[in-house]
Structure 1
Amino acid sequence: MIRYLAVLNPLYATLFWAIVLTIGTLRINRAKFMLGVFMMVAFFLYLGHAFYFTRNFQIFTWYEWIYTLTSLAVFPMYYHYIRLLTVETRLKPSDLLHYLPGLIVAVASLFLIIFMGPINRLAYIHHLEHGSHSFYLSGNPWIDAYQMLFLLSRLIFGIQIFAYLVLNIRLIRLHKENIAQYYSNPEELNLNWAQLMYIFLLLTSLAGFIFNALGRSTFLDNSVKLLIPSFIFSVLLFVIGYLGNRQDQIVSQIVKLDEMYPQEERPENEPNNVVLKLEEYFTSEKAYLNKDLKIWEVSKMINSNRTYVSGIINKHYGMNFCTYVNHHRVKEARWMLETESFDGYTLEHIGDLSGFGSLNSFIRAFQKETGITPGKYREDRKVRKSDQSFAQINT
């Protein structure tokens, strides 16, 4: 009973999210659909575990090539999931190259099983029963070749962990830079949760490495021990699915806004006009007080387009859109903090009145521009005023 509970838990977790994330999401959120496919691949991966730990070695022998393929598809799929969230509305045929190493190793292992013959297959099954991942030369060239393929698959898997970690970090960093060009309040669109998901994925892989190093045979005859990796994998995969299910496809939002605010050619003599209109819109109209201000709305109000306005802000002010808007918000907040009539207002209220979406974003932006927190800024003003009053009295 305990053994079946252990092998079924990861299957339940992955199959649940595979169904939830794929049904009806292909057209409206390809990123979520991709995560659903990722969960389905994980389901087939853990199905291989189920065959092994329930001692269905004959089935597992024919299934192991699928196990190899799915294990080497995990990190490329997560990378493509993040790309669909941030920079692409759909994947290209060339993206399939990421899955080529796993496919080659998996097909090679399938051919070995097919052509090794029934006697060698029985020898391999006996090898599985006594520690499938303890490497030693058996003297049987077929089994030794299979062993070499397994080592190659683990080497590729190890390279994938570090390679895709770098690629995902770069992608998330680029995403943060891009959304700062479009949104004045990009906090909700930041992918800190995606980094958390990747940490969970790394923890899952690390756990897999540890359990592989111990050898699957370690858990083969001990159902209680088997519950440990089963519980860890189930929880980590469930959290990945839960976090991913809450996230919309960010790049699709940008595409929709571009469609709502069409880009038009701008005349060559327009830069100065755009700067003047931008200054007027932000100083007179106080556009920055809109917490959800987007560059598309600004472009429409000054009769320009998103690309042009973004370029002007970058070149003329040396800032991205988010920093430019926050510069005006900080200026507004400084005026309030220097005015005695606002002394009864909390910092959160002042940040809200200045256009910031949260107290944390207010403090970060204020400190970035002035070098001190808004609370310290207010205290310094009170100290200066007290010193001035004391000096006047002495005079």
Structure 2
Amino acid sequence: MAKNIHDDLEQMLKGLLANLPMLTCLVMSAIMALELRCGRLRELPSLLRFMLVSAMLYAGHYVFFLRAEAWLPLTDTLYVFANLAVYPLYLIYVTRLSVAHRSHGIYWLLAPAAVGALAVGVLYAFMPKAETHVFFDTYLYGNSLDGLQGAALWQACVHVACKVVFALIVVYVLVTAMRRLREYDKALEQYFADTEHMAMRSVRNVLVLVVVISCVSLVFNVVGRHSFADSTAALAIPSLLFTGLLFAFGYVGLHRTYSIVDLEKLRGEMRAESSNGASTPGGDAICQRILALFDEQKVFLRPNLKIDDVAAMAYTNRTYVYQVVNKQMGMSFAELVNRRRIAYAMQLMKDTPGISMTEVATASGYNSLSTFYRNYRLYDKDADHAAAL
């Protein structure tokens, strides 16, 4: 009696663990669908598609771990598609988040998913029931090719090929996503001194999640699902890990407030300013005004300083300030401001022994100690030369 109760509880726990990532994706998808009606985020449809396909992926996991063989041919076909499509869909989301001019060629990354699912589905359709059962026992749950023949052997080969393609896709998506977000970071720093308070924190968190999820996916792809099929404790590891990562991914995506759309809007406004035909002083005159603001008024100590603020104080427009800083001075707006802030902070520490680092960060124009430390590591070696900028 007690053994039966224990077995029933273990089966219930196993079902919950197998179902948890899928439920997380469905809940996040429902929230995104509600947000979509508000039209708040341009890239939300891409994020929603990613979550829905992820739900399909983990539905395949759920059926697999419960050994529901009657449903396996269908769910395994959908699983192959989702497994190969989920990372390309993620890259599409990142591209919409960070790239202004996009190419439809990125959608070709979904071709392996379509081809793989088609091959698996056709083979299942022509495999006799007995051969399908042998394939399940030998390959899906045994990770072996021994004794497989005919369509079952071909089915196993297709699954192996899909694993290899999956690994290649993950590496490509990881490298490309990192590069695109890095380029977005650099573009943002040309116009803003403090990027952490504009959703760049969200963008960086997405980048961290890409690295974590990609590494975990590669590990579990090599290990194989069969390793977790017979042990509830072993199943808990990937289930809880992916549930947490998927929830964090959805949360970060829903709370992003700034993207390439906003940056392009700013650039468009600046282009309109520069083409209105108004006369303006030469670059050297604007440069002298900017340096006077930094040297005499120490405007760099203002938190959340933007290129708009400096343009207004220099009695010119943002385009000319951008050109002087990024081209004539040869650095981004963020670098100009943060070099001055760190130089000021170092001098403050010399002049005021015993001052706390929190007070130094606040006095230097930073909203948080972590932001101060990050910029300190970047610019402390050059602080002695900051006043000459």
With the length of structure 1 as denominator, give the TM-score of the two structures. 0.79
How far apart are the structure 2 equivalents of 1:45 and 1:22?
19
Report the CA distance shift for 1:199/1:368 in structure 2 as closer, same or farther (over 3 A): closer
One of 359, 365, 376 as aligned partner of 2:369: 359
2: CA distance between counterparts of 1:100 and 1:56? 29
Secondary structure of residue in 1 paired with 2:128? helix
TM-fit CA distance, 1:145: 2.0
Counterpart in the other structure of 2:29: 18
1:176 aligns with 2:188: no
* Structure 1 residue identity aligned to 2:117: A
What is the rounded CA distance, in whole Å, between the counterparts of 2:171 and 2:71 in structure 1? 32
1:124 to 132, 136, 154: 132
Aligned partner of 1:3 among 14, 21, 26: 14
Contact 1:68 / 1:106 at 8 angstroms: preserved in 2? Answer: yes
Q: Cα offset for 1:101?
A: 1.6
- In structure 2, what residue type is equivalent to 1:354? S
Does the CA-based 8 Å contact 1:295-1:310 persist in structure 2?
A: yes
Specify the SS of the correspondent of 1:371.
Answer: helix
Q: What corresponds to 1:393 in structure 2?
A: none
Contact 2:340 / 2:383 at 8 angstroms: preserved in 1? no
Residue 331 and residue 155 in structure 1: after superposition, are their counterparts in 2 closer, same or farther (change >3 A)?
closer
Question: Aligned-pair distance for 1:135?
Answer: 4.1
The structure-2 alpha-carbon separation of the partners of 1:171 and 1:196, relative to structure 1 and needing over 3 Å to count, comes to same
In structure 2, what residue type is equivalent to 1:235? G
Amino acid at match of 1:198: V
**Structure 1 match to 2:58:** 46
Shift of 1:142: 1.8
C-alpha deviation, 1:40, in angstroms? 1.4
**Pair 1:297-2:306 in alignment:** no
Q: CA deviation at 1:222?
A: 4.6
Ranges in structure 1 where 5+ consecutive residues have no aligned partner: 375-395
Q: Cα RMSD over matched residues? A: 3.2
Between Structure 1 and Structure 2, whose CA radius of gyration is higher? 1
* Paired residues, number: 365
Aligned residue in 2 for 1:279: 291
The corresponding residue for 1:61 is 73
Q: Structure 1 291/28 Cα, relative in aligned 2: closer, same or farther at 3 Å?
A: same
The CA distance in 1 between the partners of 2:341 and 2:13, in whole Å, is 59
Structure 2 counterpart of 1:93, from 104, 111, 135: 104
Show the counterpart of 1:377: none
TM-score, with normalisation over the residues of structure 2?
0.80
**Is contact 2:95–2:180 with CA below 8 Å preserved after alignment?**
yes
**Offset of residue 99 of structure 1:** 1.0
Question: What is residue 194 of structure 2 aligned with on the other side?
Answer: 185
Give me the whole-angstrom Cα distance separating, in 2, the residues matched to 1:366 and 1:231. 37
- Of 149, 158, 167 in structure 2, the residue corresponding to residue 158 of structure 1 is 167
Using the TM superposition, give the Cα deviation of residue 155 of structure 1 relative to its aligned residue in structure 2, in angstroms: 0.8
Question: Contact 1:120/1:142 (CA < 8 Å) preserved in 2?
Answer: no
In 2, Cα distance between the equivalents of 1:279 and 1:221? 68
* 1:244–1:171 Cα change, 3 Å: same
1:208 to 198, 212, 220: 220
User: Which SS does the other structure have where 1:24 is aligned?
Assistant: helix
Superimposed CA distance per residue, residues 336-360 of structure 1 (whole angstroms, 9 cap, x where no aligned partner)? 4565xx5575443343233233334
Percent same amino acid at aligned positions? 22
Q: Tell which deviates more after alignment, 97-106 or 125-134.
A: 125-134
> Which whole-Å deviations, capped at 9, do the CAs of 1:178-233 have from their partners, x for residues lacking one?
22211111234254322321233124414522541xx52x5445555444433333
